[in-house]
Homo-oligomer: A and B are copies of this chain.
């Protein structure tokens, strides 16, 4: 009877644990707390995730893994109305770090455009909630031919990858799609925007049309598990792994290690 199953009424975070370090833990927790507030999900239980995770990692002597945190509005009776009081459900899933080729980081990936449009809703935009059918349907348009697919809204604006955010560069300017109407406000995306600001890179959070992406100098995707993957081919477009991507990738690694 958990509302996570019945309605997708909850949130999640996916965190890389590398050499025992829970990368950008505070940022993930802060995002979940902000999202819980937006959805009026009781959020005090979020404070218990760290001890849950540390206990599991210690018990199983795990140093490298993917940590997935889920927070749902808990059990309820039939119907959409929220139980009062809420007794949220806290779920920790520990999985193996995926074994991606290092080539993806260094030489780039093949990506496609997904046909399935991303849902538009300004009230849910940015939030990493459990309503992820769009991502599922978009991801299932291919199997192994590509490493990622880019999702568009119904006006042909590129929004994000199925599991990543997307950036592009043109004439040494950095661009990333606006997430006002859809998409997930990724932690690595935020880090990259912060790095760009520190380094004085001119940055635009803006609409990027499908037709405009072919004119970009560099395109890359990012998330908490992969870091940055340059895109070497996207549909009929071919890109070099350029200096902007390399510079941001290096700075991101340093930033995460320096925590």
Contacts and interface: CB of A to CB of B under 8 A. Distances in A.
A56 interface: no
Interface of A: 1-9, 12, 39-40, 66, 68, 70, 72-73, 77-82, 84, 93, 95, 98, 116-124, 129-140, 143, 154, 162-163
Given A5-B70, A82-B139, 9 more contacts: A6-B130, A40-B140, A66-B78, A73-B136, A80-B136, A80-B138, A120-B120, A121-B154, A131-B133
Given A119-B120, A121-B117, A154-B122, A81 B139 contact: yes
Contacts of A129: 133
Given A118-B121, A119-B120, A120-B119, A132 B95 contact: no
Given A118-B121, A120-B120, A133-B129, A139 B80 contact: yes
Given A39-B133, A131-B132, A140 B5 contact: no
Contact of A39 (B4, B130, B137): B137
Contact of A4 (B5, B84, B123, B163): B5
A1 to B, nearest CB: 7
A149 to B, nearest CB: 10
A14 to B, nearest CB: 8
Nearest to A142: B81
Given A40-B140, A95-B77, A163-B80, A120 B5 contact: no
Contacts of A39: 133, 137
A132 B12 CA distance: 16
30 contacts: A3-B136, A5-B5, A6-B12, A6-B132, A7-B130, A7-B132, A7-B133, A7-B135, A7-B136, A8-B130, A40-B140, A68-B78, A73-B136, A78-B93, A79-B139, A79-B163, A80-B132, A80-B135, A80-B138, A80-B162, A80-B163, A84-B143, A119-B120, A119-B124, A120-B121, A120-B154, A121-B154, A122-B154, A124-B134, A131-B133
A151 to B, nearest CB: 11
A139 B137 CA distance: 27
Nearest to A77: B95
